[in-house]
Every structure is written in structure tokens, then in C-alpha cells.
């Protein structure tokens, strides 16, 4: 495995953890993980990269080794956190953003909010949540209120081995050594000897605000960077699966410079299932779109 280093920064009042691989003098490649994931989850993808990069991957607030937010988790905070992180690692320069799932949605939307800060953007199964309608609002807010009274919790595990087995049950493609590695990145041992997930369980609290695709599309229409979407052929967890072909085409058409690739023999966690092939796809996209369109 390629060696990584940990760095900690004060970002908007939180102690933020950022994992890096490679030489700081090399071009920066920003990797953004998904919901309930951690930066170290990109290890297998980084191992597959062949170019000279400084790979920079934060643990989002409330995940991994980053601090937990006292007032809960709100989507706009991810944009603000990313904005502050880029000021540290690439001040004044456009960057290459690659995000998985939640991270892919953040990457593409940020690329429309700050188009001058993004040279190229790739989304790995991060194409937005399922569509919603206003009539869903009362039930959503009611569920949120109920969960505030009885917050979600994570159950403890007797060992890292049990965590690894859980990961393999959720993703049968995971190899034993991959699952063992991820278990120690996603979880930690308590003083009592139990093993618990590092993430803040409040991430499981439902958001009282509905996902508003029209607002996301409005941001995507402002993206000037070349955009790549990588679909997993066997995915079962992406919001686009409920779209009609015309609705999915609407999402894609929001981008001015769009390319898509379908990756076979993998599920939603494509950076675990096909890391070498995914690394080739990403580096080919970056190489073939070396100049940002003006």
C-alpha cells in the first residue's frame, strides 16, 4: 500500500482530519468520500493511480478522525468546509475534484457554485438523491422530530473482525484483506474493549429538508469544468435508479461538457470493487481534459 500522512486543521471551528498521499510538489487531486465512509477508504484507488499526484482526501465533519458538530449536520456545511480546505491546499488555483456518492454530489455542485475553483470534476455514483415532491414534507419533518427525541445509535461490536464481517456482508466483493483494513479505519476500540464506528451516529438522523433536484440542476448548469460520471453496473443504492430514462437524461444534460462511463462487475462502492480499473478511468479523463474550457 502507498503510504499516507495525516494532517489536522481548524476548519470553521472543527478539528478537521485530512489524509494525503504522494509528493506535495505534484499536481493536487482532491478525493471526497461518501456518507458513512472515511478518507482511508480511497487507499485501494490511490494504489491504482499511475501518475504523479498529491492526493488530498478529507474526513468530512463527523466522520473518521474529524471533529463532530454540536448542532448536527447540514448539507451546505460541506460546501463551506470544502471551500476552506481548498484555501489551504490549493489557494487561488483550480483543482481536480473526484467524489464518491455524497462526495460526488458535493464535488459537482461545488463546481457550479465556484466554477473558477474547479478544473475537472468526476462523480462516482454521486448523481443526486431520489426526486421528491412537496407533499412528502410533513412526514419528513415529523420523522425528524421523532428522531430528535430518540436519536439513532450505532451498536458496538466485540472485535474488528466482526466489523470486517459486517462489511463483507454488505459488499460480498470485498476481499478479506480489504475488509480487515477498512474495519480499522471505520471503527475504533473503546476503553471497555468494545469496537464502535468512528462516525457520529447523528448522521443517521433524517434531514428535515427534502432533496430539491431543481436547485441542484441550477448549480450544475453553472459548471464550466469537464465533468465525468462513473456509473456502477450493479449499483443498488443510487438515487438515479428511480429515474426514468428521460429524467436521468435531464440530470446529465445540466452539464456543458459531460462524459459518462459504466463500470462492470461492481456495485456502489466501486472504489473497493474495481479500484485499478477506476483509477485508469479517472486518470484517462484527467489526461484527455488537460485544459479547462474558457
pLDDT category at 294 given cuts 50, 70, 90 is very low
Tell me the pLDDT of the chain averaged across its residues.
Answer: 95
pLDDT in tens, 235-279: 988 788 899 999 999 999 999 999 999 999 999 999 999 999 999
Q: Give 57-93 pLDDT, tens digit per residue.
A: 999 999 999 999 998 899 999 999 999 999 999 998 9
**CATH class entry, domain 4-131+211-288:** alpha beta
Give the H/E segment covering residue 261: strand 258-263
CB 62 within 8 A of CB 12: no
Q: Which residues contact 286 (CB under 8 A, 6 or more apart)?
A: 29, 51, 96, 120
Beta bridge pairs of residue 5: 20
| Burial of 201 (C-beta count, 10 Å sphere; 0-12/13-18/19+) | middle
Q: What percent of the chain has pLDDT over 70?
A: 99
Element spanning 221, H or E: none
Amino acid at each position: 500500500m502507498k503510504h499516507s500522512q495525516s494532517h489536522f486543521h481548524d476548519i470553521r471551528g472543527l478539528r478537521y482530519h485530512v489524509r494525503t498521499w504522494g509528493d506535495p510538489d505534484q499536481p493536487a487531486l482532491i478525493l471526497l468520500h461518501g456518507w458513512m465512509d472515511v478518507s482511508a477508504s480511497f487507499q485501494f484507488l490511490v494504489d491504482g493511480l499511475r501518475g504523479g499526484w498529491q492526493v488530498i482526501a478529507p474526513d468530512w465533519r463527523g466522520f473518521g478522525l474529524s471533529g463532530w458538530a454540536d448542532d448536527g449536520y447540514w448539507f451546505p456545511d460541506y460546501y463551506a468546509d470544502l471551500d476552506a480546505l481548498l484555501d489551504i491546499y490549493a489557494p487561488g488555483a483550480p483543482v481536480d475534484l473526484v467524489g464518491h456518492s455524497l462526495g460526488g454530489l458535493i464535488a459537482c455542485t461545488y463546481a457550479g457554485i465556484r466554477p473558477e475553483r474547479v478544473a475537472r470534476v468526476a462523480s462516482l455514483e454521486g448523481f443526486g438523491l431520489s426526486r421528491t415532491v412537496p407533499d412528502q414534507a410533513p412526514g419528513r419533518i415529523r420523522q425528524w422530530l421523532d428522531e430528535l427525541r430518540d436519536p439513532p445509535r450505532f451498536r458496538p461490536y466485540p472485535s474488528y473482525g466482526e466489523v470486517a464481517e459486517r462489511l463483507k456482508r454488505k459488499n460480498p466483493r470485498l476481499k478479506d484483506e480489504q475488509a480487515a483494513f477498512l474495519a480499522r479505519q471505520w471503527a475504533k476500540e473503546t476503553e471497555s474493549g468494545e469496537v464502535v464506528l468512528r462516525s457520529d451516529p447523528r448522521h443517521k438522523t433524517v434531514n428535515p429538508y427534502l432533496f430539491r433536484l431543481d436547485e441542484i440542476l441550477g448549480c450544475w448548469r453553472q459548471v464550466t469544468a469537464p465533468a465525468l460520471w462513473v456509473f456502477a453496473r450493479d449499483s443498488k443504492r443510487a438515487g438515479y435508479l428511480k429515474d426514468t430514462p428521460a429524467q436521468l437524461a435531464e440530470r446529465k444534460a445540466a452539464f456543458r461538457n459531460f462524459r459518462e462511463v459504466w463500470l462492470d462487475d461492481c456495485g456502489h462502492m466501486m472504489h473497493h470493487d474495481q479500484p485499478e480499473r477506476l483509477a485508469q478511468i479517472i486518470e484517462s479523463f484527467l489526461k484527455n481534459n488537460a485544459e479547462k474550457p474558457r
